[in-house]
Structure 1
Amino acid sequence: MDSLADLDARIADCVACPRLVAWRTEVARVKRAAFADRTYWGRPVPGFGPADARLLIVGLAPAAHGGNRTGRMFTGDRSGDVLYQALYDVGLASQPTAVTADDGLELYGVRVTAPVHCAPPANKPTPGERDTCRPWLVQELRLLRPTLRSVVVLGAFGWQAALPAFAEAGWTVPRPRPAFGHGARVHLDASDAPESATGLDLFGCFHVSQRNTFTGRLTPEMLREVLRTAATAAGLP
């Protein structure tokens, strides 16, 4: 795979995890009452954003009635409402809402992805499913590497899932592995020099889940602050 378009197409056809295949398919068949007249995507959800992104946002997995319905990460659910509003507020998105995969939303220098590309039951992938999906994230990081300068990871699950992927994709992860925390910042040096010796700034942020946003654990300003800092580190305006 020598392009993100090829990678995205391959991801969308993946059937590697039987439990996830069964769940995403069943959700797409039964649907939620509010979306009974919609056709669900019901497949693995690839990343979204430009191929020359300087900033990458890593979540957890698509939501059953969000990305699994629309076919685009963080689209069509309340977590996405919070994320895309914040991206718009800091000048990284063309509009504050993400409703469908063809709603005209553009991201500026930012790509959004996840370590698990299928919607999992109860929003909880197993460690085995996480590890099975990791090669997709590794390849995405390798393809983004010429321009990628910073990454925001949403939540502890994504943080732990992403660290091995960074190591496989050509960056050095410190030992012991850095702990997740909101506002955490870690610099990853390139592990292969000299031609690709570009480091990466890694930022931790509480996940934009309803549990966090409804309770105030993650406020819009907290999210905007992390995004601003990461965008500056990436050299985005």
Structure 2
Amino acid sequence: MENGANLNSSTVDGQTPLTEACARGHVTCVSLLLQHGATPVGTSYTSSPIHRAAAKGHPDCIGPLVQHGADVDQQIDQSGSPLHVACSNQHLSVARKLLQLGANVNNSVSGDLPLHIAARLSNPELVSLLLDHGADRSLRNLEGKRAQDLAPPKSLAERLLRQSGEVSPLMQLCRLNIRKTMGKQRLEGIHDLPLPTELKHHLLYQSNLCQHPLPQNHSNSGQHPQGADLHNFTEMR
């Protein structure tokens, strides 16, 4: 870089130094490249740095990219948004980071929302996270199916989607409305609001004041494929 290297040069398939650093999770390298002028949106619609970080499960690379202008809702043909990619690869920490930064939870790709993807994969952690961030369980894909129709029968994901209490708690509705009003570009401004610290943490999804608890699993049916101890999930979040 000191000798004038082109930081945005790309391979024939559109890979740049920044996309490679994101794919490998080299946060220091990502920050250094961005500080010296690497473009955060990539040079090809098939190789966005933020999509690469999402696909490979590197949430720590997301923040620097967004700070330098990357769009958490950037769409790529066939892949959709970074949130779609994170959900498809079941990277919970990446999905959480994207949502905290204001990613649109109800964006669709080929008719599927992130919630449809999480349900089809029978991943209750992702389902719970998406619901907490305002995912609309009533929306249907191009096949006319809701998320609960795509989850395996009797799985934890299906029970979470079908459980009673479909009306969201008032605290969650207020949080979603405040975040929507501020817009994803100004969410960091929540820190400057004249509010109690715990309430600011709630607005930033940094507390457990309001969340969707997972239903208790009283049998082995519908067990998550990765075998997690899901009844303790709310303590893990």
Q: TM-score, length-normalised on structure 2? A: 0.33
Q: Pick the structure with more strand per residue.
A: 1
* Greater relative contact order structure (CA < 8 Å, 6+ sep): 1
Q: TM-score, length-normalised on structure 1? A: 0.33
Q: Pick the structure with more helix per residue.
A: 2
